[in-house]
Chains A and B, each alone.
Chain A
Amino acid sequence: MDGDPASGRDGEVVDTSPMVADEVKHTTCYMCACRCGIRVHLKNGKIRYIEGNPDHPINRGVLCAKGSAGIMQHYSPARLRKPLLRVRDRGAGEFREIEWDEALSIAADWLRRIRKTDPKRLAFFTGRDQSQALTGWWASQFGTPNYAAHGGFCSVNMAAAGIYTIGGAFWEFGEPDWEHTRYFMMFGVAEDHDSNPIKMGIGRLKTLGKAKFVSVNPVRTGYSAVADEWIGVRPGTDGLLVFSLIHELLKADRIDWEFLVRYTNASWLVIQDRGADDDGLFARDENGNPLCFDRARNRLANALDAELQPALVGRRTLTDGRTAVPAFELLARRYMDDRYAPDAVAATIGVPSATIRRIAAELAHAAFAQQIELDIPWTDWAGREHDRMIGRPVSMHAMRGISAHSNGFHTCRAIHLLQILLGSIDCPGGFRYKAPFPKPILPAPPPAAGTGRPDTPLDGAPLGFPARPEDLLVDATGAPKRIDKAFSWEYPLAIHGMMHMAIHNAWKADPYAIDTLFLYMANMSWNSAMNVPGTIHALTDRDPATGEYRIPHIIYSDAYYSEMVPYADLVLPDTTYLERWDCISLLDRPIGSAEGPADSIRQPVLEPDRDVRPFQDVLLDLGARIGLPGMTRRDGSPQYPGGYADYMINHERGPGIGPLAGWRGHDGRSHGRGEPNPEQLNRYIENGCFWHDPLPADRLYFKHANLGYLNYAQDMGWIANNRQIVLQPYSETLQRFRLAARGHGEIQPPQRERDRIEEHFDPLPTWHAPFEESAVNGTQFPFHALTQRPMHMYHSWGSQNAWLRQISARNRLYVARATAERLGVADDDWVWVISHHGRVKTQVRLMEGVNPDTVWTWNAIGKRKGVWGLDPDAPEATRGFLLNHIISELLPPRADGYRYSNSDPVTGQAAWFDLRVRIEKCRPGETGETEPAFGSIAAPPGMPRTPRIMRYGEDLRPPFSGRTGGRHREFIGNRAEVMATMPGVAAGASRAKPDEDGDDDS
């Protein structure tokens, strides 16, 4: 072309100030479990843009890839459109559409009949439910103990170990002090849980540059990629690593003695009387108070008194002549043993002993040489005033990689023990409780099983906290009362239930047959199943005698056409998260932070364009139809005719305590407690759909022993009294179960369980090799196999999202390069991944940053053909695969033939990450598509054709505004941290600290 054409700048007038939206509505994200605040921009009745709410305490304006893809989730072609009734065999996917009245009548008939005869024959499990305060209450009013959400296959090891040890837990009940920490150690965290808060924290910590970040994880992706040090530990050995660190610290006498005597039961005297019914329990005075030895007065004393000088070592004689030693002495002797020396454990862990020794030295250095002092006066539980807050700036965080092993409960307790010995619980720079935690150990009553009488509610909640064998849900023979065997002698502290066993046990009628399986938002025939082929069999198997399904009725509620839908008899279509009311309640899984409590709501920002209803409305409707107490008025009419929103405002759990803590009372001025306020939801909406009560400075730390905080928590109704919450490195609760196994007490375990209880109910943290590893031949199955979640996806929702699936539409098996070379496997080779249970076929990708004994893949990307609105040739179905196919829900048989659940023996947590495999290269002719394939499923009526070309947003471009717009604003990420480390960078716009936002328009 000749010449110099005019520049486009002469030809285009850019509209820099268009009118983006007609309306902006606040609500709460549901693209994962993080529950960030979002602003939804609406234009022409459609979603123009979703952004983080800058005022929201969870996300401070940021939004992850999942949240940003909410538009495509909302408009997914996989959305169910109308209630469905199955017309052919389960699994065929053939349904007819029915009206809501018919659907609810059918469900009510089934439920009414069950409740009239034997309420426990309803099994109600609710997946990634964020309304467990409602669903659990509903189950209780129905009268079935067979209720749980997905916690049993997710994180119950973390929750149970935390709640039974420190009265809080990682993730939902605690967080690192990102600002003050000098050493941050992260164990086995896949990149999804607490997604944005962790990312924001890591960004701040690394920008400040004062802390070292160590990631202990077999795989170096995501957070581990930005860690200062990655420790590629062998899966399931983290507990040994922690013991070895404790070993080094104890031997070097580098532990926080003051913390131990002030805040823990380390000084409490433990009875040493082998064979007695109180051996291993705490010695107590006549009032039941634990005893310690007071060195100031040289005598036994009530360990709960304030003015003492408790001894941490030394054998003492009790008044009855027996011997007792402080709990600390027991733990010190155990972990100083040579079997935990770095040289003794290094080979098992796969970490050099010099590294273990250095990490121990680094922990001690950070805790004791870099002590933090904040000039904040505070008053302790005994009323003593302190002029400063002194912190040991070592923080820790742990999640799925610890949780999903059969030794996860004790490993998590080991991590808490390490934190306790370093004195780094809820101090400046340490791990911090998120309000409303800490709670007393234990925080709530034991679980209720009910009387089994018809038409009778449970006498409590179906999930709770067993403190002693009497609290288990077992019959006189010791047999389980729950369908999932939670709270039985096999899994005594299964505080989140065991959803992963419900279908298998119901099919096997073990311990009994059920009538109806009622599921919500749980893809139990696919990526939430252990053993997908076996689960599909259980859902479709018929009793040859009657021809009836062994699980006679299945009701399922989901917003999308997932793999589970085709196995339901009755489908109750849910809305998307943008079409509903919800409450993120302090009664459920709170979103508070260390800075103060918070709760939030979802409000409908769009009306459904399909014949769907929010599940919580449906549940309350069903409750009213079958006359459940609390959901029905005397005249038989619904208690909450306005549905879930009505319940959120008007339901009360106790006097003045309801689902939402903010703006209670007639004048809307009460927080925490107060009578229902009809205007409450409007107040939430005006405030961006959340409530947050920032704590004053003197309540920010030592919450377990801080009088100001404890008084506040008591006023708010979270704790019954303002007594100190004593941390429990030594767990008397566990010892009580052990004593039963030794034959003491009325409630006795079956003979088969005695040795197992004796071994695993150790009152001090212990370690055993993961069960599957011990049970299978290590030569035949030489590798660990794990999954991680990609940061841009969360469970099966993400991988059908039109935008997110462009980032990853299939998964491969990642293998360490050196390992692959030994196996003769190269990139993209097809291999069989073979476990003791089955095999699955995939392609391989080599990498460096993975433990050499470990292979892994991304979770929940593989899909079944015909579902999720995807074409049958979608890569998710042809090349995506699940390790779920080869993970058994049962362990290999013991010598006596009995098969336990593939779970933690204390909590029943599903041991996903115990999987052991071998890799075999596929033969020529075996390559091409993943197997097993399971066949294609038909689509229900009315599902839309998917577009070949999608031009979303085309019609949302605004008309030319004619305005020129203002000036740009500089934005520095983590500006406060940048300013702290970099002279010359001025105040201005940033996100993590909105208070410091300035307007630097100039």
Chain B
Amino acid sequence: MTSLPPRIPDRQLGLVIDLDICVGCHACAVNCKEWNSGGHSAPLTDRDPYGADPTGVWFNRIHSFEVDAQEEGKRGRTVHFPKSCLHCADAPCVTVCPTGASYKREEDGIVLVNADWCIGCKLCSWACPYGAREFDTDDGVMKKCTLCVDKIYNENLPPESRVPACVATCPVGARHFGDLGDPDSGVSKLVAARGGYDLMPEQRCRPTNKYLPPRRREDKDLRDDSGTTARLTPAAENIDGVFLRWVDRLLSR
């Protein structure tokens, strides 16, 4: 099968996705779709786009689900979870590929598919534990997130546009992009500070992309000095008493 680069690339470009602030708006998914529709893997074919079962190729999809409260004093929550290729260091989609079409770049760690070599056997999509591959039935080849490889280095674009489409467009700023192989990079520090984690580490794929967990929210409830739930203390025993406090108050306009 296909080999990974002989050593882990020094530079490992990837995404850091903040689940604490993602509101599930699908901006990243749709902007990805439009960039890549005319990009490296173009087109991202849509079947039956105006019919009974519209389905197309998307490199980035958002899943929303509810998490019930597991412990006393914690609240249930709704989680929005964007998912795309995680550009793993030990990418099983690469090693499983019988033709060498699926590969990981030495210079930046981006996992790509060479469409000329892909025979559409779908082994890679079976091997990927994240379900991050997208088969274009019309082209008969596998497609996937390219980390906008035709955008992030593109000198025909103004500098501020040279970031993955999903990152540049995210309205809440929940998506970050950088070199996760460099411990001094901003994204690495962000991951360290926020407890960023690997998705499904037990799969041993060593994903490059990281997720930042939702922060604990219950701590923001105000408690009084004794630790019980805060409440205001009435200023007097009854309304007339409160008014009495106000009668002599001197206030300047």
Q: Is the CB of A63 within 8 A of B169?
A: yes
Please give the distance in Å from A90's CB to the nearest CB on chain B.
25
Q: A20-B157, A225-B24 are in contact. Are A360 and B231 (CB under 8 A)?
A: yes
Chain A positions 42-80 with a Cβ under 8 Å from a chain B Cβ:
43, 48-52, 54, 59, 61-69, 71, 77
Q: Check B101 for interface membership: any CB of A closer than 8 A.
A: yes
Q: Is the CB of A65 within 8 A of B30?
A: yes
> Complex formed: what's the CA distance from A994 to B231 in Å?
41
Q: Check B23 for interface membership: any CB of A closer than 8 A.
A: yes
Q: Is the CB of A61 within 8 A of B26?
A: no
Q: Is the CB of A8 within 8 A of B101?
A: yes
Please give the distance in Å from A947's CB to the nearest CB on chain B.
7
Flag the segment in B72-80, B126-134, B202-210 that touches A: B72-80
Q: Is the CB of A969 within 8 A of B163?
A: yes
Residues of A within 8 A of B25 (CB): 64-65, 191, 195, 199, 222, 791-792
Q: Is the CB of A970 within 8 A of B186?
A: yes
Q: Is the CB of A336 within 8 A of B23?
A: no
Q: Check A848 for interface membership: any CB of B closer than 8 A.
A: yes
Flag the segment in A97-105, A643-651, A983-991 that touches B: A983-991
**A-facing mask of B28-55, CB < 8 A → 1, else 0?**
0111011111111011111111111111
Chain A positions 823-875 with a Cβ under 8 Å from a chain B Cβ:
847-849, 869-871, 873-875
Q: Check A966 for interface membership: any CB of B closer than 8 A.
A: yes
**B-facing mask of A198-225, CB < 8 A → 1, else 0?**
0110111011010010000000111111
Residues of A within 8 A of B217 (CB): 227-229
Q: Is the CB of A966 within 8 A of B52?
A: no
> Complex formed: what's the CA distance from A50 to B31 in Å?
8
Q: Is the CB of B221 within 8 A of A16?
A: no
Closest to A355 in B: B229
> Complex formed: what's the CA distance from A625 to B189 in Å?
67
Closest to A227 in B: B217
Q: Check A513 for interface membership: any CB of B closer than 8 A.
A: no
What count of chain A residues pass the 8 Å CB interface test? 156
Q: A212-B220, A968-B108 are in contact. Are A354 and B2 (CB under 8 A)?
A: no
What count of chain B residues pass the 8 Å CB interface test? 124
Residues of A within 8 A of B86 (CB): none
Neighbour of B179 across the interface among A223, A803, A871, A970, CB < 8 A: A970
Q: Is the CB of A791 within 8 A of B78?
A: no
Chain B positions 137-173 with a Cβ under 8 Å from a chain A Cβ:
138, 149-150, 152-157, 159-163, 165, 167-173
Residues of A within 8 A of B173 (CB): 200, 203-204, 207, 973-974, 977, 990-992
Q: A17-B155, A191-B23, A261-B253 are in contact. Are A251 and B232 (CB under 8 A)?
A: yes
Please give the distance in Å from B77's CB to the nearest CB on chain A.
7
> Complex formed: what's the CA distance from A104 to B149 in Å?
51
Q: Is the CB of B20 within 8 A of A982?
A: no
Please give the distance in Å from B44's CB to the nearest CB on chain A.
7
Neighbour of B38 across the interface among A224, A878, A957, A1001, CB < 8 A: A957
Q: Is the CB of A229 within 8 A of B105?
A: no
Q: A803-B33, A948-B51, A968-B179 are in contact. Are A309 and B155 (CB under 8 A)?
A: no
**A-facing mask of B219-253, CB < 8 A → 1, else 0?**
01110000001111111000100110111011111
Closest to B35 in A: A49
Closest to B221 in A: A358
Q: Is the CB of A966 within 8 A of B162?
A: yes
Q: Is the CB of B39 within 8 A of A957?
A: yes
Neighbour of A43 across the interface among B38, B155, B232, CB < 8 A: B38
Q: A18-B150, A973-B167 are in contact. Are A871 and B50 (CB under 8 A)?
A: yes
Flag the segment in A361-369, A464-472, A527-535, A710-718 that touches B: A361-369
Q: Is the CB of A48 within 8 A of B232?
A: no
Q: Is the CB of A226 within 8 A of B22?
A: yes
Flag the segment in A108-116, A518-526, A805-813 that touches B: A805-813
Please give the distance in Å from B47's CB to the nearest CB on chain A.
6
B residues with a Cβ closer than 8 A to A are: 1-3, 5, 13, 18, 20-27, 29-31, 33-40, 42-56, 58, 64, 66, 68, 75-80, 94, 97-106, 108, 112-114, 116-117, 138, 149-150, 152-157, 159-163, 165, 167-179, 185-187, 189-190, 193, 215, 217, 220-222, 229-235, 239, 242-243, 245-247, 249-253
In the complex, the 4 A-B pairs of residues with the closest C-beta atoms, listed nearest first = A973-B173, A965-B153, A203-B172, A953-B37
10 residue pairs A–B, Cβ–Cβ below 8 Å: A7-B5, A67-B27, A69-B34, A358-B230, A805-B49, A957-B39, A968-B179, A970-B177, A977-B173, A982-B190
